[in-house]
Structure 1
Amino acid sequence: MANQHQNGQGEQVTNDQIIALLRSYKWRIIGFFSFLIIAILFLTLGFWKTILILVLCLIGVGVGYIKDRTQDFLNLLNRLS
């Protein structure tokens, strides 16, 4: 019984180490998978279709940001005018 408890702790340490590793390389992992997806799109759809998808996604992110931060966006507009 004690041996099973010990193995459970060993697995927990391993899981904690994996989580710590993923957290320390979070942006590298996100960047890798993002550009992997972009590369696959380039190879399957072609250059211009991929560019169109990326531009539309960025517009969508911008609209979402404006909706999330409406007051911040209005303050920015007031400062610019």
Structure 2
Amino acid sequence: DVESISKGEHPDFSGLTKLGMIIRGAMNKTVASGLKYTSEQNQWLVEHYRNYPKEPEGFNEWNKSLHKTLDESFAKIATYSKN
């Protein structure tokens, strides 16, 4: 999974990995929720970076969307560390 992330790919949490995450997550719902959210945001970021504008005119909107999502993500992730 780390190798996938370093290549800009979204890791595939399938099969036994998901089962293990569910079991461990049942013990700590906050951690499970945080991991799920982080995984979803990572998937969005990978897709967003793949859609980097080809022309300079599209950069401001692309950058605005990126920073809006990052700000929201950092704020939400901070709530997980308080639990």
TM-score (norm 2): 0.38
Query: By percentage of residues, which structure has more helix?
Result: 1
Tell me which structure has the larger Cα radius of gyration.
1
Higher relative contact order (CA 8 A, sep 6+): 2
TM-score (norm 1): 0.39
